[in-house]
Structure 1
Amino acid sequence: MCGILCCISREPPSIPKYFEQNIRNFDDNIVVWDSQDEAFIQKLIDIDLKQTETLSSEDQHKINNLDKLRICNARLNQIKNTIGKSESHNSELAEAKSKIELEMKSLALVDHIDKNEMANLPPREIGVGLFTSLVPVIASRGPNYLKYISFHIEEAKTWVEQFSSVLSLRQPFVQQPVQVENEQISIQFNGELYNQECLDSNDSKFIGDKIISNIGNFGQGNREKAIVETIAELEGEFAYAIVDKAKQRCYFGRDYVGKRSLVYSLKESSGLVISSVTNGKNENNWEECKAEVVYMYDFESCKLDSYEMALKGARHPKPICNSALNKLKGIEVSNRISKFKEVFFEACKVRVDTIHPIHEDNPHITNLGILFSGGLDCTVIAGTVGQLFSEMSSLSDKTVLIDLLTVGFDNPRTEVSASGSPDRKLAKKSWLELANKFNKDSRISFRLVEVDVNYEEWLRHKSRVERLMYPCDTEMDLSIAIAFYFASRASNGVKLTLNLSTCEIETQANYTSKAKVLLSGLGADELFAGYSRHERVFNDLKPDSGSDVLEKAYSDLANELTNDIKVIYKRNLGRDDRVIASWGKELRYPFLEEKVINYVVQQVELDLKFNHSWETTTNKKGKVSTRLKPVRKWILREYAETLGLTGVKNELKRAIQFGAKSAKMEIGQGKTKGTDQL
């Protein structure tokens, strides 16, 4: 994984102060700096983390008054639940409600901000340049190696700055930015490639070699085609920024689903900044790069063009629904499940086979993390990985330690503790099923890592999460992002290990997971119709509805699912990557593997995703009614059963912010909507 920061400007750069030592000037136009000094890199990262060390005066005020706020909130809820007996009584209730709300406001807000707090804020808040302010944030994404280069392209009167941070996960290690074709092309690449030709080599070097080969094939006059063709041939999870000095252009973008974050800020007066992260909501007008789009910035004209990536396969085809009115036979359904198992196994395999960091202390141990709520999607990934490792003969000299990372919040508004959150209970149940099934193999160990987040810790990190997740900026974005943020940090948790010989659970406090690669179940709901809004498509369906009504409902569902994959880069992927990678962790998505998407979209019928039947019930008064009995993600549940995961097969969908209790952490937020902007 790599952090990308690239600036193209008509103004000469002001070299970030962090690089003042060890700068190498090769001539008047080229400046280079790099470092593998772990202590220096950590010191740089700590600049960005500094704001989480102390509470602001306002947040401290909330902590000091937390018990009073809880009492006020209880009184307020009591009044809201009281029905007025008369008009005068209603007026009394309204007046009492208003007084309590004013009291809560005074308990939550201070009437002034301590000016001395400004001295404790990180450099981004005290007037340093945009590029410099982003350096510590980019460094946190790749704590193993940093490199800065700047150069002047005289013909275009343009200066280019590139800064990369590298998390070492693939051998051989290659420095970034990568210089190829006699240093006429400079490549920054963030992600993992799963092209068969580069599974056992470094992916950024593979890209450079491919560009050189394509330039040779198409000729120097078709350099643009050579670069774009190279991008279209890449398979995996990635973002990139490629500077072609010869043609004075920069190409940047993301894979066709958008699994890695990339944003840009374009100003006519100051040029273009491309980055893996933003510095928050400000005058820079950050834009999220669209998926499957190649952006091309021309240095001479200062214009930005974009065009759709020329993909080898179909682009977001509409899901098939030809069996919606005519159920498949049992053997055909079994074939669908078997084929899905085949492509999904391969998607998981390629994502765990390519974990071999050169900085690992023990080469005989593979550390893997799974973001784990205990629900269907993440448990299916865990079960697939467990079965995958149990069948691998190449594991004979290795031990696989799989940390299932589950997070819970002590929510002062709902007064639910982290240990009592729904996800915590379900995670323990699903973990026990996995451990009993797979830990019998001495080479495999599933451990549950319970991460608790109290209100004070939430307040300390809230502003950092808001900045990292931007341009996503709603209450729902925050509640989801902050859950992933703490789960992926995976520090100061409690590790649970099942002792199979005694059937007892052994615990280890203050545990920090060493896993640098985390698997996520994101994409399953979008592929298999897992959201409640997918179910609402069938609200108007009746037992006697004609075939045309049923066909219309499934056609509407097909449109929903097609759009879900098209916009997932903006709704989820960029946000999640930005907050999780801030801990030097890399997220990988088996459900969003291109072959998995293509198979599920093009060959799995819609009624195998959203399956329904009719249920007739009689109430106590003898009234008979018939209602829809829906099963979302039906085929995925059947697949879970083939893995022996019967416990999770019938679990309902629960959004992480509600399962972990990270939604609406502030007392008095009862009326806040998830779509409200922060």
Structure 2
Amino acid sequence: MCGIFCSISQNHKKDSIQISREWEACKNLVIARGPDRVIEKFENLTPIWFGHFVAAVLWMQGLDLCEQPTIDSAGNILLWNGDIFSGNLAQDNACDTNVLLSALQSSLNVSSVFQEIQGPYSFIYFQKSTNLLYFGRDIVGRHSLLLKVNTDENTLTLTSVASKEVNKIIEIPAIGIFVTNLDNSRVNLACYPWKEPDLHFTDIIESLETHLGVDIDIKKTILKSDASTSLHLHPDIKDLDYMENSPYLENSYKTLGYLLEDTDILERVDRLLQLLYKAVEVRVRKQPRFCKTCIKLVLSKKDVACDHSKIGILFSGGLDSAILTLIADKYVSQYEPIDLINVAFEKSVNARSKSKKSNENNEKESTDDQYDVPDRKTGKQTFLELSKICPKRKWNFVEVNISQAELQKYRSSRICNLLHPLCTILDESLGCAVWFASRAKGTIHSSANIYESPCRLLLLGMGADELFGGYMRHRTTLRHKGWDALTQELNFEIARISERNLGRDDRIVSDHGRQSRLPYLDENVIEYVQRLKPWERCYPTDKMPSGLGDKLLLRLAAYKLGFRNTANFPKRAFQFGSRIANGKENARDISGRL
């Protein structure tokens, strides 16, 4: 995993190298993503085009650190920020940067190579034989890549992350692979769509053309069209009989046990768990066996035996993170702890003043009370349940308590730049919550000593709500519009998750020199779940209230794994569970605090 940067321009002189303003503005943010090695290369790409390539490497694959930018014998240049977890190019104990560059060198069709990759990535690739510069994000959009085109100066800038000083930069949409032809004298763009273009694709392209001031030529579609679920979905009575007629509908705990007695339901749960186990296993095992502290010693050629924590989990105590935690236990050495990171924000000044008025007899509100937010409560409950299921594992329940002063300090000095170009109140609240959680600095439960997790890898539960129908709007859609509309909405949730969440969260987490990995957004998990009928993955009807019908298939999986209380915890938005957000604000409004 890396921070990558590329600037293409014509304003260079033979005897001097001009560094772009964009690099100066992005430099510190890019380097923070890859603290293990930073390398810059300046290349004359064509007689008129000049390239500045930078990679800040976080070593996460292969037996040795692989330096970037990588240039092969033919003069092709690759900047790769990704992981090949499965697919035809996946190899154990190999640096996937070298594997990918070799595959690209031996293929005339660049897009066909990326068609073979399963895993999150963003990339920049210059093909010397054609003078084409390719760039883009994986089809799910799990890693960030930003683009700025300056038609006045005839320059193009690509970067993993950019500060607010870089104006008119945008997130590259995860709709295909983009390319610019450096045989032309002006910046130009074309796009190879991942899928057959639809109205959503057209809207995105038109918006890009308006913002960038460049026409985009649409090329051949990369992937074969996949027959989507036919609409006019009306479940037969027999499809729903077992769910509608449970004798325990007043008891969510007993309902889950009753449903698992059905052969078809049990088969779906087992298949889902099989895929999740594979997704977690590859994400846990594909990494160097060293923590943040020990890997520095390894890179300085010292022998190290590391038994520190290498895996952290953003742990609200909710359903999604609990399942990942229990599965991860199977693939992490029994001699290593796993860090469960739980974040809480101090009550606002107004909330504290109201609390003081109602508790005038209390001289001082305790720290526990100040940070006793909903996610801290569920976190502790699930932690206790987890400890009973896996009593031999050392779990570090890390309590991250963030004061209002600390929030204001880092929001205005650091987080605002990582969020850029996003700037809504929702982006701000979620971005701040994820940044402090992924910093992973707090105290271990029942201890007063400060602890900062040495893990380099974080498992996150992103994607579970979109796949399994976890939002309240899914219940509303089904009630008013039926199963067809819910099917369309669930499909659209995954299609737009890259622009709503993933690029932002990648920039936020990676700022701490850690990598986020998202098992629910594994391609095989997504494919399986999207082929299910909507009522086979969620059942948000009046008969199954919140905490049961939403994400029903996932709740059944949790129950089968051994969770009893956690399996029925209702969905709670992270920004409210951690108490960073103000429910009275409109989440879509532009934030005035960034």
Q: Look up the match of 2:482.
A: 553
Q: Which moved more, 1:457-466 or 1:354-363?
A: 354-363
CA positional deviation for 1:246: 3.1
Contact 1:319 1:605 in 2 (8 A): no
Distance between the aligned counterparts of 2:525 and 2:389, measured in 1? 26
1:483 pairs with one of 417, 433, 436: 433
CA positional deviation for 1:431: 1.1
CA positional deviation for 1:292: 4.0
Q: Look up the match of 1:10.
A: 10
- Aligned-partner residue type, residue 634 of structure 1: L
Contact 1:322 1:605 in 2 (8 A): no
Q: Look up the match of 1:565.
A: 494
1:162 pairs with one of 53, 56, 60: 53
Distance between the aligned counterparts of 1:525 and 1:486, measured in 2? 22
1:414 is aligned to 2:366: no
CA RMSD between the two structures:
2.6
CA positional deviation for 1:364: 4.5
**1:474-525, Cα deviation, whole Å (9 max, x unpaired):** 001100010000000012x1113xxxxxxxxx52521000111000101000
Q: 1:149 to 1:30 in 2, by over 3 A?
A: farther
Q: Look up the match of 1:374.
A: 317
Q: 1:662 to 1:629 in 2, by over 3 A?
A: closer
Q: Secondary structure at the match of 2:406?
A: helix
Q: Look up the match of 2:147.
A: 264
Q: Which moved more, 1:135-144 or 1:284-293?
A: 284-293
Contact 2:46 2:183 in 1 (8 A): no
1:341 is aligned to 2:253: no
**1:360-381, Cα deviation, whole Å (9 max, x unpaired):** 3534555100011101111111
Q: Look up the match of 1:117.
A: none
Q: Look up the match of 1:430.
A: 382
Distance between the aligned counterparts of 1:615 and 1:478, measured in 2? 36
Contact 2:138 2:174 in 1 (8 A): yes
Contact 1:581 1:587 in 2 (8 A): yes
Distance between the aligned counterparts of 1:341 and 1:322, measured in 2? 27
1:385 pairs with one of 306, 321, 328: 328
Distance between the aligned counterparts of 1:129 and 1:230, measured in 2? 33
CA positional deviation for 1:311: 5.5
Q: Look up the match of 1:212.
A: 105
**1:612-670, Cα deviation, whole Å (9 max, x unpaired):** 55559xxxxxxxxxx99971000100000111011111111100110001113xxxxx7
CA positional deviation for 1:166: 0.5
Distance between the aligned counterparts of 1:534 and 1:612, measured in 2? 7
Q: Look up the match of 1:539.
A: 479
CA positional deviation for 1:355: 2.0
1:661 pairs with one of 557, 572, 579: 579
**1:297-333, Cα deviation, whole Å (9 max, x unpaired):** 1123220111213556765944885646542672111
Contact 2:345 2:578 in 1 (8 A): yes
Gaps in structure 1 of 5+ consecutive residues: 14-27, 33-126, 215-222, 390-394, 497-505, 541-551, 617-626, 665-669
Distance between the aligned counterparts of 2:494 and 2:329, measured in 1? 27
Contact 1:376 1:648 in 2 (8 A): yes
CA positional deviation for 1:558: 0.6
1:456 is aligned to 2:405: yes
2:66 pairs with one of 166, 174, 190: 174
**1:29-59, Cα deviation, whole Å (9 max, x unpaired):** 9989xxxxxxxxxxxxxxxxxxxxxxxxxxx
Q: Look up the match of 1:520.
A: 460
- Aligned-partner residue type, residue 563 of structure 2: L
1:252 pairs with one of 135, 155, 180: 135
CA positional deviation for 1:386: 2.0
1:273 is aligned to 2:157: yes
**1:262-288, Cα deviation, whole Å (9 max, x unpaired):** 110011133100010122275x31121
Q: Secondary structure at the match of 1:577?
A: helix
CA positional deviation for 1:609: 2.2
Contact 1:375 1:653 in 2 (8 A): yes
Q: TM-score by structure 1 length?
A: 0.71
Q: Secondary structure at the match of 2:100?
A: helix
Contact 2:510 2:516 in 1 (8 A): yes
1:672 is aligned to 2:564: no
- Aligned-partner residue type, residue 431 of structure 2: A
1:466 is aligned to 2:351: no
Residue correspondence of structure 1 range 316-335 to structure 2 within 5 A: 317-318=228-229, 323=235, 325-327=237-239, 330-335=262-267
Contact 1:147 1:177 in 2 (8 A): yes
Percent of aligned positions with the same letter in both sequences? 27
Contact 2:132 2:179 in 1 (8 A): yes
Gaps in structure 2 of 5+ consecutive residues: 195-220, 243-261, 296-303, 356-368
Q: Which moved more, 1:268-277 or 1:566-575?
A: 268-277
Q: Which moved more, 1:361-370 or 1:3-12?
A: 361-370
Distance between the aligned counterparts of 1:299 and 1:244, measured in 2? 10
CA positional deviation for 1:199: 2.9
Bigger Rg over Cα: 1
Contact 2:547 2:570 in 1 (8 A): no
Q: Look up the match of 1:643.
A: 561
Q: 1:363 to 1:539 in 2, by over 3 A?
A: same
Q: Secondary structure at the match of 1:193?
A: coil
Q: Look up the match of 2:258.
A: none
Contact 1:406 1:450 in 2 (8 A): yes
Distance between the aligned counterparts of 2:370 and 2:546, measured in 1? 35
1:184 pairs with one of 72, 75, 78: 75
Q: TM-score by structure 2 length?
A: 0.81
Q: Look up the match of 1:131.
A: 23
- Aligned-partner residue type, residue 407 of structure 1: V
Distance between the aligned counterparts of 1:291 and 1:384, measured in 2? 29
Distance between the aligned counterparts of 1:613 and 1:315, measured in 2? 29
CA positional deviation for 1:12: 1.5
Q: Look up the match of 2:252.
A: none
Contact 1:142 1:166 in 2 (8 A): yes
Distance between the aligned counterparts of 2:525 and 2:537, measured in 1? 14
**1:229-255, Cα deviation, whole Å (9 max, x unpaired):** 111111101110111233222100011
Q: Secondary structure at the match of 1:494?
A: strand
Q: Secondary structure at the match of 2:94?
A: coil
Distance between the aligned counterparts of 2:339 and 2:546, measured in 1? 39
Distance between the aligned counterparts of 1:11 and 1:572, measured in 2? 36
Q: 1:316 to 1:378 in 2, by over 3 A?
A: farther
Q: Look up the match of 2:111.
A: 228
1:353 pairs with one of 279, 282, 285: 285
CA positional deviation for 1:582: 0.7
Distance between the aligned counterparts of 1:31 and 1:267, measured in 2? 19
1:300 pairs with one of 176, 179, 183: 183
